[in-house]
Amino acid sequence: MRILFIKNYAYISIIGIYVILILVSMISPYTLEIVYYTLLLMILAQSLNIIMGFAGLYNFGHAAFVGIGAYTFAILVVKGVDPYLSMIIGGLVASFTAFLLGLVVLRLKGPFFAISTLGILEAIRYFIIGTPKITGGAAGFTLFKYLGTSYNPYILVYILLILSVVTTIFLIILSHSSLGYSLKALREDHDAAEASGVNTTRCKIIAFILSAFFPGVAGGVIAFKTFWVMPETIFDISYSIEAILTVLLGGSGTIIGPIIGAMIYNISKSLFMSYFPGFQLIVFGILTIIIILIAPEGVIGLLNNRFKKVRRFLI
Amino acid sequence: MAILVVDNVTKKFGGIVALRNVSLDIHDEILGLIGPNGSGKTTLVNIISGAYMPDSGKIIYRDNDITILPPHVRCRLGIARTYQIPRPFSNLTVLENVIVSVINGTLYGKVSMKEAKYVAEDILKTVGLSRFKEIPAKSLNIQERKRLELARALGIEPKLILLDEVLSGLTLSEMSEMLSIIKKIHETKKIPILMIEHIMHAIMNISDRIIVLNQGIKIAEGTPEEIANDIKVIEAYLGDRELALKFVKK
């Protein structure tokens, strides 16, 4: 626990961001929506950061965990289970799925892993469409009659806020733990890490399990928010893509990177959507290319390298 | 008792036989492994460290058959290796590079992060990299990278070290510093070392025994003097007997 009290100012900036988000969420229902989407993206990016930033594996199937969490939530809520408990169970089910999938796909390296995760996302979606008796098939579930009375947008935002804070604390502990070091080592050089005694398969599977929990819970929150789960919308690859973009934008492998990335991404996205609707995808495509070319370490890396004085405010 | 026995190992890559029925044993010594390019030296190190599986033959380490064990398990049993072309964890600091080996090597599960840091700092002192400990490994030069390779090997608290050309690319004075570090490690920690090297005067001086490979076959084994006089070795590798003997005497 000592590592949570490191003598630097990085935590001030993280806490500052959370305080700003809380304050902004109180202004109006519109800003509450923006904060909701920002936090959602933040959680997806932070959890993706475990597998992408620390272990160096590009997971395009992150949305699959969102979907699995949402469906678990929906099925349990229909059965009459407490919605907040269902969210957590959704996270656990997503983690368990990650464990089973990880046993197979984590033996693949680099681009092969990335492609296989794309396939997994589609396969799970079609599995759900193909099993209408359990999952409602292509039409999905409507949850309004189960959740309509207990809906409160503020509570959902605060759940996401708590989840994001937990993810941050978790990432701080991870980055100072032996698992964190081992993951960073295998990201840098897989074979040399094995020669240094890193059990690469085990480390990657653990990282995969951990990174699946948070989007699983977030999936439950999404289902609560929309009262609706449907394969086409909940297994949406844009969750994966936006999370990857956010991690790249902020700085992969850093703790504050995905947080700042989510802020920048979502604020600019809302601005574009209100003033130039439809153009945001083109702009983000161009932005991605620019990031990869001039700042492969993201905004954080750029700030770190150019402005030494801000370094102590970043981790 | 031999620490490690390589028993009749054969390794083929497609049609090429990289190692043909090679046997050797390592005792408490510095064992030199020499031979022309492509003679299978690095393949042998890869087979001992577990990066490759042999097509036939066995690797016996401290009386246990480790032929099918994966690399990280062998590392945790105490077999450390270095790479000919250094492969540091570029974006980690020098200290973190060593910490990774300390927490995953033979001390796996036995050290806390804090203890691991002390152990790693100690090792960096041994190899003379203390002043670089906070900088990322990618900004080291070749000499420092070679030392970092050695430091990472020491990090696992090894019982056997496989050194793959740690001297190549170094200047003469850097070389003698490196040699004295290796000697010091061997003498103070009593760790047997298998050393691949092309630099004749270095290997002839530091080794207790030398094994010569040529085209995947072991062609000679003996003390540096015997090797320098061996007609097969002179034909295949050394070229000049007088010159070879001169290295031994120096």
- Measured CA to CA, the distance from residue B46 to residue B126 in angstroms comes to 26
Q: Which residues in chain B are contacts of A206 at CB distance < 8 A?
A: none
The shortest C-alpha distance from B71 to chain A (Å) reads: 6
Q: Which residues in chain B are contacts of A300 at CB distance < 8 A?
A: none
Position A1 scores a pLDDT of: 45
Structure tokens at B60: 């016996």
Q: Do B104 and A198 count as a contact with CB atoms less than 8 A apart?
A: yes
- Measured CA to CA, the distance from residue B156 to residue B154 in angstroms comes to 6
**CB count in 10 Å sphere of residue B51:** 18
Q: Which domains does chain B have, with CATH numbers?
A: 1-78+159-168+190-250 (3.40.50.300), 86-158 (no CATH)
Position B249 scores a pLDDT of: 62
Position A284 scores a pLDDT of: 82
pTM, full prediction: 0.90
Position B250 scores a pLDDT of: 59
CB neighbour class for A270 (10 Å; exposed up to 12, middle 13-18, buried from 19): middle
- Which of B82, B101, B150 is the mutation pick for testing A, counting most A CBs within 10 A? B101
Structure tokens at A101: 């999938």
Nearest to A196 among B70, B100, B113 (CB): B100
Cβ contact B40:B213 at 8 Å: yes
Q: Do A181 and B99 count as a contact with CB atoms less than 8 A apart?
A: yes
Searching chain A, which residue's CA lies closest to the CA of residue B77?
A197
ipTM of the complex: 0.89
The torsion angle over the Cα atoms of residues B22, B27, B32 and B33, rounded to 10 degrees, is 20
Q: Do B104 and A200 count as a contact with CB atoms less than 8 A apart?
A: no
Q: Do A196 and B49 count as a contact with CB atoms less than 8 A apart?
A: no
Q: Which helix (H) or strand (E) element contains residue A19? A: helix A10-25
Could you give the residue ranges of the DSSP H alpha helices within B190-219? 200-206
Position A314 scores a pLDDT of: 62
Nearest to B113 among A176, A194, A198 (CB): A176
CB pairs under 8 A between A and B: 80
pLDDT, averaged per 10 consecutive residues of chain B (250 residues), comes to 91 92 93 91 94 93 93 94 93 94 90 92 93 92 93 93 92 92 92 92 91 92 89 81 71
- B107 vs A: CB within 8 A: no
Count H helices and E strands in chain A, helices first. 16, 2
Output phi, psi for A146, to 5 deg.
-90, -30
**Residue B16, CA distances (Å) to A232, B126, B212, B216 in order:** 52, 41, 19, 10
Picking from A31, A267, A57, the residue whose alpha carbon sits closest to that of residue A154 is A31
- B105 vs A: CB within 8 A: yes
List of chain A residues with pLDDT < 50? 1, 7
Q: Do A196 and B108 count as a contact with CB atoms less than 8 A apart?
A: no
Q: Do A189 and B75 count as a contact with CB atoms less than 8 A apart?
A: no
Q: Which residues in chain B are contacts of A189 at CB distance < 8 A?
A: 87-90
Express each pLDDT in B110-142 by its tens digit: 889 999 999 999 999 999 999 998 999 999 999
Q: Which residues in chain A are contacts of B49 at CB distance < 8 A?
A: 195
Picking from A204, A247, A226, A221, the residue whose alpha carbon sits closest to that of residue A104 is A204
Q: Where do the domains of chain A lie?
A: 2-313
- Measured CA to CA, the distance from residue A144 to residue A130 in angstroms comes to 24
Across chain B, the runs of DSSP E, i.e. the strands, are 4-13, 16-26, 30-34, 56-61, 64-65, 79-81, 160-164, 193-196, 209-214, 217-222
Searching chain A, which residue's CA lies closest to the CA of residue B162?
A195
- Measured CA to CA, the distance from residue A156 to residue B221 in angstroms comes to 74
Collect all residues with Cβ–Cβ distance below 8 Å to B180 and sequence separation of at least 6. none
- Adjacent-strand bridge partners of B79: B160
Q: Do A192 and B51 count as a contact with CB atoms less than 8 A apart?
A: no
Structure tokens at B140: 């080291």
Cβ contact A179:A51 at 8 Å: no
Position A155 scores a pLDDT of: 92
- Measured CA to CA, the distance from residue A9 to residue A107 in angstroms comes to 39
Q: Do A199 and B72 count as a contact with CB atoms less than 8 A apart?
A: yes
Position A274 scores a pLDDT of: 84
Q: Which residues in chain B are contacts of A193 at CB distance < 8 A?
A: 89, 100
- Measured CA to CA, the distance from residue B92 to residue B108 in angstroms comes to 20
DSSP one-letter string for B96-136: HHHHHHHHHSTTTTTS-HHHHHHHHHHHHHHHT-GGGTTSB
Half-sphere exposure of B213 (CA within 13 A, CB side): 28
Q: Which residues in chain B are contacts of A185 at CB distance < 8 A?
A: 89, 92, 97, 100
- B213 vs A: CB within 8 A: no
Position A254 scores a pLDDT of: 87
- Measured CA to CA, the distance from residue A133 to residue A126 in angstroms comes to 14
Q: Do A194 and B71 count as a contact with CB atoms less than 8 A apart?
A: yes
Searching chain B, which residue's CA lies closest to the CA of residue A203?
B104
Find how far residue A233's CA is from the centre of its chain: 17
DSSP one-letter string for A119-177: HHHHHHHHHHHH-HHHH-GGG-EE-HHHHGGG--HHHHHHHHHHHHHHHHHHHHHHHTS
Could you give the residue ranges of the DSSP H alpha helices within A26-131? 29-49, 62-78, 83-105, 110-130
- B40 vs A: CB within 8 A: no
Structure tokens at B197: 């090297």
- B142 vs A: CB within 8 A: no
